[in-house]
């Protein structure tokens, strides 16, 4: 059975979308069948996978409002074995429109349940907020992968994120587990990066992936071409690191 991974951290700009896109693409490169779900109104994962977010017929917004089936919301991407449920700015209104709907925390799960057996991995890119969309992702997911940027304020907000995960476990999804932490924008040359890693290790009782994602300009360039790093610059340090992360995630048997 497949694994549904929500990539979440309410802190903005920590590498959630970069990780979602490139982890999904590297899993697909390893012949896994992967569905990417873009749950961020910014739609950066959608465009980063070569899908025009303003021209798609259906998005995750239409899916959550029950205006289309999940099959109708799935698009091909530029990557073999990788499919996406796109998003665009319309999703920004979803929180209000879903007010008053019963069991609104389970809307995405209700849809994904129909197709989850068809995929080896489902990767959900969350918005930079602990809102109803992120709660929907955590209710749908088996695990939460937390990207942490190697910078001074890395730990800020982390306890709030863990608290939210615990609340979802208690009230909505008892099976939810923390997939682990992946460090992003790591720079071996700076003490700061190493300090952040040490502090997180001391303060968080959770799996930390051995793979550190380095700061790599090629990772920042790839989305403007609408392709993931393994297609944009297959030999770059960024591509190598996301391949290694995919390998570690596939190898994991304890969840």
* Chain residues 49-68 in contact with ligand ATP, contact rule CB under 6 A: none
- Contact segment (CB under 6 A) with ligand ATP among 31-39, 57-65, 71-79, 211-219 equals 211-219
88 lies in the site for Mg ion, by CB under 5 A = no
Q: Which residues of 84-114 are buried (b: 16+ CB within 10 A; e: fewer)?
A: bbbbbebbeebeeebeeeeebbbbbbbbbee
CB of 194 to Mg ion, least distance (A): 26
CB of 239 to ligand ATP, least distance (A): 11
CB of 211 to Mg ion, least distance (A): 20
CB of 217 to ligand ATP, least distance (A): 6
CB of 20 to ligand ATP, least distance (A): 7
16 lies in the site for Mg ion, by CB under 5 A = yes
Q: By C-beta, is 11 or 207 nearer to Mg ion?
A: 11
Report in angstroms the alpha-carbon separations of 73 from 12, 35, 48, 76, 216.
27, 11, 17, 10, 33
228 lies in the site for ligand ATP, by CB under 6 A = no
d(CA 45, CA 38): 6
Cα within 13 Å of Cα(101), Cβ side? 15
- Counting every residue written for the chain, the total comes to 255
Count residues contacting Mg ion (CB under 5 A)?
Answer: 2
d(CA 235, CA 218): 10
Strand segments (E) across the chain: 3-7, 34-38, 75-76, 82-85, 121-125, 143-149, 177-184
Write the binding mask 102 to 141 for ligand ATP: x where contact by CB under 6 A, - elsewhere: --------------------------x-------------
CB of 38 to Mg ion, least distance (A): 9
- Contact segment (CB under 5 A) with Mg ion among 3-11, 17-25, 132-140, 247-255 equals 17-25
Q: If DSSP codes are grouped into helix, strand and coil, which group holds residue 229?
A: helix
86 lies in the site for ligand ATP, by CB under 6 A = no
Among 4, 6, 8, 15, binds ligand ATP (CB under 6 A): 15
Residues at the site binding ligand ATP, with contacts judged by CB under 6 A:
12-18, 40, 42, 44, 128, 184-185, 213, 215-216, 219-220
Residues at the site binding Mg ion, with contacts judged by CB under 5 A:
16-17
């Amino acid at each position: 059975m497949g694994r549904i991974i929500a990539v979440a951290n309410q802190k903005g700009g920590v590498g959630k979308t970069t990780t979602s896109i490139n982890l999904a693409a590297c899993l697909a490169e390893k012949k896994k069948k992967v569905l990417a779900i873009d749950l961020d109104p910014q739609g950066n994962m959608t465009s980063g996978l070569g899908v025009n977010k303003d021209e798609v017929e259906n998005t995750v917004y239409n899916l959550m409002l029950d205006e289309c089936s999940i099959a109708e919301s799935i698009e091909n991407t530029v990557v073999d074995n990788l499919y996406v449920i796109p998003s665009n700015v319309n999703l920004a209104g979803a929180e209000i429109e879903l007010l008053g709907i019963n069991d609104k925390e389970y809307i995405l799960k209700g849809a994904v349940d129909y197709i989850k057996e068809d995929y080896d991995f489902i990767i959900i890119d969350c918005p930079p907020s602990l809102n109803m969309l992120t709660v929907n992702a955590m209710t749908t997911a088996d695990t939460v992968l937390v990207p942490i940027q190697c910078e001074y304020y890395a730990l800020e907000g982390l306890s709030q994120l863990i608290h939210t995960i615990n609340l979802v476990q208690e009230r909505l999804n008892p099976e939810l587990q923390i997939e682990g932490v992946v460090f992003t924008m790591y720079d071996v040359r700076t003490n700061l990066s190493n300090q952040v890693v040490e502090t997180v290790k001391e303060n968080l009782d959770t799996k930390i992936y051995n793979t550190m994602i380095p700061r790599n300009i090629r990772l920042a360039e790839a989305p403007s071409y609408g392709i993931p790093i393994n297609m944009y610059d297959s030999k770059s340090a960024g591509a190598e690191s996301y391949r290694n992360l995919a390998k570690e995630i596939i190898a994991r048997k304890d969840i």
